[in-house]
A and B are shown apart, each in its own frame.
Chain A
């Protein structure tokens, strides 16, 4: 008979399961890398909870993501785990992980990182870029153009 996994073990397994949930609009990154998953923890009542947060208030992917998480938990033997949405602290691009950032850049999406790391063209790596619009094809992206290679590109915007 297999012993029931200890809570810490289950938490780690849940994190691993959640890493298999891709962002529906930018499938190269998963929801853990995006910083959407805030916490996997058991409360005082022993109930395990996954806490997630939306990137932008109106992000249409939020519901799809919540459904995918629910399905993934159910199929991985975590049907008893509760899923909760929290708003505090609000999401910002600071929540993006290093691996998430690299995957986005390899996919052709630059990342606004403030003064720490200026936007670089994802094609030629030049820093001579200009912002065309603060708005792009999804709520989380702005539209840029490279002044070296002249290609336009999406940028994950700094909220």
Chain B
């Protein structure tokens, strides 16, 4: 595999390709780990199974992406080394993914906003010039479709439900909306990836995400919160304190017992 991808005059370095893959991989991994916390705690058996299955899909997607990042980096780090032996500042997940499960409404709002982003992103990545990434995107896209059906379905039921469910889901939406800015506003790396045909065009993702989410919010009888710029940069390694706690739990076993297998 060549180190650099060239498109016209633009060139992307190996380090940038790895960095971009880590954004996708870590977002799936951290979102998957958050859902895994709910195993055995879902409101009903069916929802417990659904959240567990979605968690498995997300962690599976993360494994494929981390393994690819490790192969491109070619520095001896496999998917396990990348998942379990990095500290919070080395993680590149979107800040939204690490936000805690305050209640079922917060879990659903987080998933819904993230599912819409993943769905549109992977749809677009099926045409990526990073061929191995396009293969993963085809696979992930099929799973993202039913993740979205689940979370959007629940958003509508909670929003257009009882007084309490509406109040809770409104509060969660108000608290989490600020993190969507990071998903939709490209930084220099996102822009370079788009120019080189590896990543999607950010304006396209924003437009499609907005159409999808706005329609579902309307159906859920939830007013769309005003746009808020928030200086949160999970994708550049600046995280909330929540990620540290999550990693402590997720990484405990391989850190304390390196090389442990079963």
Contacts and interface: CB of A to CB of B under 8 A. Distances in A.
Interface of A: 54, 56-60, 86-92, 132-137, 139, 143, 159
Interface string B49-87: 110111111111101100000000000000000000000
4 closest residue pairs by CB, A with B: A58-B60, A57-B60, A58-B56, A135-B50
Contact of A60 (B54, B56, B138): B56
Contacts of B58: 58
A57 B141 CA distance: 11
A36 to B, nearest CB: 14
B140 interface: yes
B139 interface: yes
Contacts of B46: 132-133, 135, 143
A87 B135 contact: yes
A32 B150 CA distance: 31
Contacts of A91: 139
Given A133-B50, A135-B49, A88 B138 contact: yes
B92 to A, nearest CB: 19
A56 B56 contact: yes
Contact of B138 (A54, A90, A134, A139): A90
A59 B50 contact: no
Contacts of A89: 138
B238 interface: no
A137 B50 CA distance: 9
B33 to A, nearest CB: 12
B210 interface: no
Contacts of A90: 135, 138-139, 142
Contact of A139 (B56, B63, B136): B56
27 contacts: A54-B60, A56-B57, A56-B60, A57-B57, A57-B61, A57-B63, A57-B139, A58-B61, A58-B63, A59-B56, A59-B60, A60-B56, A87-B135, A87-B139, A88-B138, A90-B135, A90-B139, A91-B139, A92-B142, A133-B49, A134-B150, A135-B46, A135-B49, A136-B53, A137-B49, A139-B57, A143-B49
A135 B42 CA distance: 13
Determine the main DSSP class of B at the interface with A. Answer: helix
Nearest to B32: A58
Given A57-B60, A59-B60, A139-B57, A134 B142 contact: no
Contact of B135 (A59, A88, A132, A134): A88
Given A56-B57, A134-B149, A136-B53, 14 more contacts: A57-B63, A58-B32, A58-B57, A58-B60, A86-B135, A87-B135, A88-B135, A89-B138, A132-B46, A135-B46, A135-B49, A135-B53, A136-B49, A159-B143
A54 B143 CA distance: 13
Interface of B: 32, 46, 49-50, 52-61, 63-64, 135-136, 138-140, 142-143, 146, 149-150
Contacts of B57: 56-58, 139
A159 B49 contact: no
Contacts of B61: 57-58
Contacts of A56: 56-57, 60, 143
A137 B135 CA distance: 27
A89 B142 CA distance: 12
B100 to A, nearest CB: 22
A137 B56 CA distance: 12
B13 to A, nearest CB: 25
Contact of B64 (A87, A132, A134, A135): A87
A133 B50 CA distance: 8
